[in-house]
């Protein structure tokens, strides 16, 4: 994807234009941006996922619950769904892309945004009238309509001081003046920047795919840096002032001394090499801390055979992968918060990390090198890369 290539799913905007004019600035509606997405997941698929242990799922009942806007957490049972009212409720399932590589491949539509900013693809299902109320999120989201129709209203920028509805754990806004009012159809995309009030109500039975982007809490980033700086400096490193000048008022805190103290503290955080090695593992931590990938053993010959038969190599959708080095060349690789040692060709590693799915044509020349082929087999056995059998669909940007 080149920054100046018009993108149909962004309404003909280039990546440069979208980031300059819309990203974290204003919403964007694109009709029929992803016509194939609605067929990927249906109502029954989502309900089945919500009944699985370990999958994050929620139900929001505007009406028909114990109280208005009741929130319930999964896993759910078939009986619970049978007891739901006919209208005005919503099922939300997080990280559906972790379980559907075909869905995860659609992240490539947004590959112009750094990979460490991606969070997950949540899917919501709602009968007529279903909603989670007027609210705002602290992250960027691309809302892609699946089956059915949803009416979206947008309001003003909000923050923690915006008045909220009492009596519910949901962060529902008490009032939302409307500045945008559109009904979306299957395949339509609506980008909503962080902090912008939005309110979506299903007009009939519908599903909505939410491509969410995370933003690390800066205090958490600082905590990582401070911990690393303290470890590197040791606990016995003291403030030093060999150029101290006489002071007539010992009870006075001299601003120059405060500046010297600040300078010495900040000096602990100025090692750029340490900055990389501290933040790369932190930014590559998986969404769910207890996640452990499951792999399958495969020999180099078997891998070449299945690729020639039409299989795809797919990144494990639930694992986060980032590399350091130059763009397109990995010197160091981090997966799920851990450094991966003994890398093969750095360009080959970057190719794998930069793409969600690759076929034999993309990999043929690289796998002619024994070190690359052997390493990829080892990674597949650890579960970091998966094999999608012949006939699996691939999103093609």
Tell me the C-alpha distance between 355 and 279, whole Å: 22
pLDDT of residue 397: 37
Write the DSSP assignment of 185-249 as a string of letters: -TT-EEEE-TTEEEEEEESSSEEEEEEEE----HHHHHHHHHHHHHHHH-TT-----TT----S-
| CA 27 centroid distance within chain | 19
Asked whether the predicted pLDDT for residue 234 surpasses 80, the reply is no
297-311: per-residue pLDDT in tens?
A: 999 999 999 999 999
pLDDT band, residue 394 (cuts 50/70/90)? very low
Q: Which residues pair with 338 in a beta bridge?
A: 335
pLDDT of residue 273: 72
pLDDT of residue 286: 96
Asked whether the predicted pLDDT for residue 392 surpasses 60, the reply is no
Give the residue extent of every domain in the chain: 6-213, 300-388
Alpha-carbon torsion angle 365, 371, 374, 376, nearest 10: -60
3-28: per-residue pLDDT in tens?
A: 789 999 999 999 999 999 999 999 99
Residue with the bigger pLDDT between 142 and 390: it is 142
What fold, for 300-388?
Answer: Malonyl-Coenzyme A Acyl Carrier Protein; domain 2 (3.40.366)
Tell me the C-alpha distance between 22 and 152, whole Å: 18
34-75: per-residue pLDDT in tens?
A: 999 999 999 999 999 999 999 999 999 999 888 999 999 999
pLDDT of residue 275: 81
Non-local CB neighbours of 391 within 8 Å, separated by 6+ positions: 310
69-125: per-residue pLDDT in tens?
A: 999 999 999 999 999 999 999 999 999 999 999 999 999 999 999 999 999 999 999
Tell me the C-alpha distance between 65 and 43, whole Å: 21
Cis peptide before 75 (omega within 30 of 0): yes
Tell me the C-alpha distance between 276 and 282, whole Å: 10
φ/ψ of residue 255, rounded to 5: -55, -30
The two beta strands, 321-326 and 150-157, are unpaired
pLDDT of residue 15: 97
Average predicted confidence (pLDDT) for the chain: 94
180-210: per-residue pLDDT in tens?
A: 999 999 999 999 999 999 999 999 999 999 9
Asked whether the predicted pLDDT for residue 346 surpasses 60, the reply is yes
Residue with the bigger pLDDT between 218 and 237: it is 218
φ/ψ of residue 285, rounded to 5: -65, 140
220-233: per-residue pLDDT in tens?
A: 999 998 888 888 87
Range 42-60 burial, b when 16+ CB lie within 10 A, else e: ebebbbebbeeeebbbbbb
Which token pair is 158?
A: 């909000």
CB–CB of 299/377 below 8 Å? yes
125-152: per-residue pLDDT in tens?
A: 999 999 999 999 999 999 999 999 999 9
pLDDT of residue 393: 41
pLDDT band, residue 391 (cuts 50/70/90)? very low
Tell me the C-alpha distance between 288 and 285, whole Å: 8
φ/ψ of residue 246, rounded to 5: -60, 145
Q: What is the CATH number of domain 6-213?
A: 2.60.120.650
Give me the sign of the Cα torsion angle 28, 29, 30, 36.
positive
The whole-model pTM stands at: 0.92
Tell me the C-alpha distance between 340 and 364, whole Å: 23
């Amino acid at each position: 994807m080149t920054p100046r290539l018009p993108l149909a799913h962004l309404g003909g905007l280039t990546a440069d234009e979208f980031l300059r004019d819309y990203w974290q600035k204003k919403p964007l509606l694109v009709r029929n941006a992803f016509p194939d997405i609605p067929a990927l997941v249906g109502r029954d698929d989502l309900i089945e996922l919500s009944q699985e242990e370990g999958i994050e799922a929620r139900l929001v009942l505007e009406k028909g619950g114990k109280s208005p806007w009741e929130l319930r957490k999964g896993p759910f049972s078939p009986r619970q769904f049978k007891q739901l009212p006919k209208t005005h409720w919503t099922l939300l399932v997080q990280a559906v892309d972790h379980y559907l590589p075909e869905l995860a491949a659609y992240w490539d539509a947004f590959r112009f945004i750094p990979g460490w900013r991606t969070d997950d693809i949540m899917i919501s299902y709602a009968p007529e009238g279903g909603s989670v109320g007027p609210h705002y999120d602290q992250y960027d989201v691309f809302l892609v309509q699946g089956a059915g129709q949803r009416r979206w209203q947008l309001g003003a920028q909000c923050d923690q001081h915006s008045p909220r509805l009492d009596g519910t754990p949901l962060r529902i806004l008490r009032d939302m003046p409307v500045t945008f009012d559109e009904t979306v159809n299957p395949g339509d995309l609506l980008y909503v920047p962080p902090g912008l009030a939005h309110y979506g109500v299903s007009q009939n039975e519908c599903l909505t795919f939410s491509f969410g982007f995370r933003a690390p809490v800066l205090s958490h980033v600082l905590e990582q840096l401070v911990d690393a700086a303290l470890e590197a400096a040791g606990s016995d490193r003291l403030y030093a002032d060999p150029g101290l000048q006489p002071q007539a008022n010992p009870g006075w805190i001299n601003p120059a001394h405060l500046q010297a103290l600040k300078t010495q503290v900040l000096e602990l955080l100025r090692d750029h090499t340490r900055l990389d090695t501290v933040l790369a593992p932190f930014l590559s931590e998986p969404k769910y801390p207890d996640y452990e990938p499951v792999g399958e053993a495969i020999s180099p010959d078997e891998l070449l055979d299945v690729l020639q038969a039409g299989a795809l190599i797919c990144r494990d959708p639930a694992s986060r992968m980032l590399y350091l080095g130059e763009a397109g060349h990995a010197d160091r690789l981090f997966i799920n918060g851990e450094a991966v040692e003994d890398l093969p060709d750095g360009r080959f590693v970057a190719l794998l990390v930069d793409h969600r799915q690759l076929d034999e044509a993309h990999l043929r020349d690289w796998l002619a090198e024994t070190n690359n082929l052997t390493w990829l087999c080892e990674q597949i056995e650890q579960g970091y890369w998966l094999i999608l059998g012949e006939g699996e669909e691939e999103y093609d940007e």
